[in-house]
């Protein structure tokens, strides 16, 4: 029993590490997060859809587990701005209320995130748990690093890491690719980064550091008006208020507005130890710096672009082949009355009978007569895409720049 229990405990630990708690290094998403974004992309791309429908679809197709973790992830992504939402998803203040039940809320894909998912069809796929799904989401920047909150995950390993704005992640990525320096700071809504640059540099190089944030506030006499949630929690502020036998006023409605005594102002500045622990596709955990994760995501994006270009070239070659057959066939269409005529025409224009039959079954006779045979344009497109494949590094950077320029802040 000792041997068996140790084996199953180790297997369970690996499962939790890979499929529940830690993000994948290629896109910084946990499986449930990736599956939620994928399901929203599939079911709520153009219009608001009941959250219950999205959750049910996610469980049925990708995540065969309880519904609450899926809905909690969906709620968190609405709060972080990665998914658009309608309904009571969140509240502000010292004692926030629970979100409304999934049957009362609606979600829709955020167009910015949708743009970053544009190459999802060219991601490598695998049967991870239930059905075939993308191993990672190919994007120029890791989608899991976009947001306005600290991220936490605990299993046999603990991961804690901040999020950033889309624009700042692109700026850091392009600086890395050009071997330039560009310092960016984490984005935590309602807080300002007040730590030192040395710790920030550690975050990007090693992934382990101490980050310090101060909640947005304004001092008015003996009172401090707080307009942002403290980065860790309200507990240090509440302990300070209790120690001084004071009280606070929570005026929060559509945004945070809490009035505390001036004596407790220092409690609004809080430190948090970041430790960016990730896993690879084999489920092996390790600590990684933000810079390494940016480059890994860009490499995955580049590989997806390669697959897309190869697919495009293959389709264009098939189109060129069909147009070549149509070009030869057009003068003979008037003689096509039966299948025996088709065999005769096949021999006269020197085209394989099966290929000729395939083209005729694909196009109607009227279309064959009117279709424009523009082989030069098709061959030009083939050449252009092959050149892009040969210069994939430059093309990937060029494509990433276009993606950045087309995006509006989430």
Q: What is the DSSP letter of 278?
A: E
Identify the pLDDT of residue 238: 96
| pLDDT range class, residue 7, cuts 50, 70, 90 | very low
Write down the CATH superfamily of domain 30-135.
Topoisomerase II, domain 5 (3.90.199.10)
Identify the pLDDT of residue 72: 94
Distance (Å, rounded) from C-alpha 4 to C-alpha 6? Answer: 5
Q: From residue 320, how far is each of 140, 188, 370, 390, 402 by CA, in Å?
A: 32, 52, 17, 21, 29
Residue of 364, 375, 280, 275 whose CA lies nearest to 322:
375
Instruction: Tell me where in the chain the CATH 3.90.199.10 domain(s) lie.
Output: 30-135
Identify the pLDDT of residue 13: 45
Higher pLDDT, 326 or 24: 24
**Average pLDDT over the chain, rounded to whole?**
89
Higher pLDDT, 200 or 253: 200
Identify the pLDDT of residue 347: 83
| pLDDT range class, residue 10, cuts 50, 70, 90 | very low
pLDDT tens, residue by residue, 122-167:
999 998 887 889 999 999 999 999 999 999 987 778 999 999 999 9
Instruction: Tell me where in the chain the CATH 3.30.1360.40 domain(s) lie.
Output: 208-272
% helix, strand, coil for the chain, step of 5:
50, 15, 35
Identify the pLDDT of residue 213: 98
Distance (Å, rounded) from C-alpha 296 to C-alpha 394? Answer: 16
pLDDT tens, residue by residue, 202-217:
999 999 999 999 999 9
Residue 231 has pLDDT above 60, yes or no: yes
Q: For the chain, what is the radius of gyration of the CA atoms?
A: 28
Residues 6+ apart with CB under 8 A from 51: 71, 74, 85, 87, 102, 103, 105, 106, 107
β-strand partners of 106: 50, 86
Which stretch of 87-96, 260-269, 291-300 has the lowest confidence by average pLDDT?
87-96
Distance (Å, rounded) from C-alpha 10 to C-alpha 7? Answer: 5
Cα 111–chain centre separation: 12
Identify the pLDDT of residue 195: 95
Top-level class of domain 208-272: alpha beta
Identify the pLDDT of residue 332: 77
Q: What is the DSSP letter of 47?
A: S
Task: Give the DSSP per-residue string, 120-133.
Answer: GGGS-EEESSSSEE
Identify the pLDDT of residue 19: 52
Higher pLDDT, 368 or 23: 23
């Amino acid at each position: 029993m000792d041997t068996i229990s140790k084996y199953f405990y180790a297997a369970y630990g690996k499962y939790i590490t890979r499929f529940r708690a830690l993000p994948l290094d290629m896109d910084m998403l946990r499986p449930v997060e990736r599956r939620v974004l994928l399901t929203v992309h599939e079911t709520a791309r153009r219009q608001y859809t009941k959250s219950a429908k999205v959750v049910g679809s996610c469980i049925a197709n990708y995540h065969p587990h309880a519904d609450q973790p899926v809905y909690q992830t969906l709620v968190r992504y609405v709060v972080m701005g990665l998914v658009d939402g309608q309904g009571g998803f969140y509240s502000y203040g010292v004692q926030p209320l629970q979100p409304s039940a999934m049957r009362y809320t609606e979600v829709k894909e955020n167009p910015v995130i949708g743009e970053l998912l544009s190459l999802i069809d060219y991601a490598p796929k695998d049967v991870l748990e239930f059905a075939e799904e993308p191993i990672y989401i190919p994007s120029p920047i890791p989608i899991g690093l976009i947001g306005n909150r600290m991220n936490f995950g605990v299993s046999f390993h603990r991961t804690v890491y901040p999020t950033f704005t889309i624009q700042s992640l692109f700026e850091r990525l392009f600086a890395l690719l050009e071997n330039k320096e560009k310092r960016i700071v984490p984005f935590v809504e309602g807080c300002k980064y007040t730590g030192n640059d040395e710790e920030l540099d550690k975050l990007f190089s090693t992934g382990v550091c101490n980050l310090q944030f101060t909640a947005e506030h304004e001092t008015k006499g003996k009172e401090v008006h707080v307009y942002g949630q403290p980065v860790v929690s309200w507990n240090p502020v509440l302990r300070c208020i209790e120690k001084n036998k004071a009280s606070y006023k929570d005026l929060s409605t559509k945004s945070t507005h809490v009035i505390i005594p001036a004596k407790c102002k220092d409690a609004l500045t809080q430190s948090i130890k970041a430790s960016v622990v990730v896993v690879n596709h084999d489920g092996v955990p390790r600590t990684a710096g933000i810079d390494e994760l940016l480059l890994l995501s860009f490499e995955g994006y580049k590989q997806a672009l390669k697959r897309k270009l190869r697919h495009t070239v293959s389709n264009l070659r098939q189109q060129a082949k069909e147009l070549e057959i149509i070009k030869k066939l057009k003068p003979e269409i008037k003689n096509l009355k039966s299948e025996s005529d088709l065999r005769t025409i096949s021999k006269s224009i020197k085209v394989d009978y099966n290929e000729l039959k395939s083209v005729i079954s694909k196009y109607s006779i009227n279309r064959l007569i009117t279709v424009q045979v523009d082989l030069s344009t098709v061959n030009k497109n083939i050449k252009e895409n092959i050149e892009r494949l040969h210069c994939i590094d430059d093309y990937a950077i060029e494509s990433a720049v276009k993606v950045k320029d087309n995006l509006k802040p989430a």
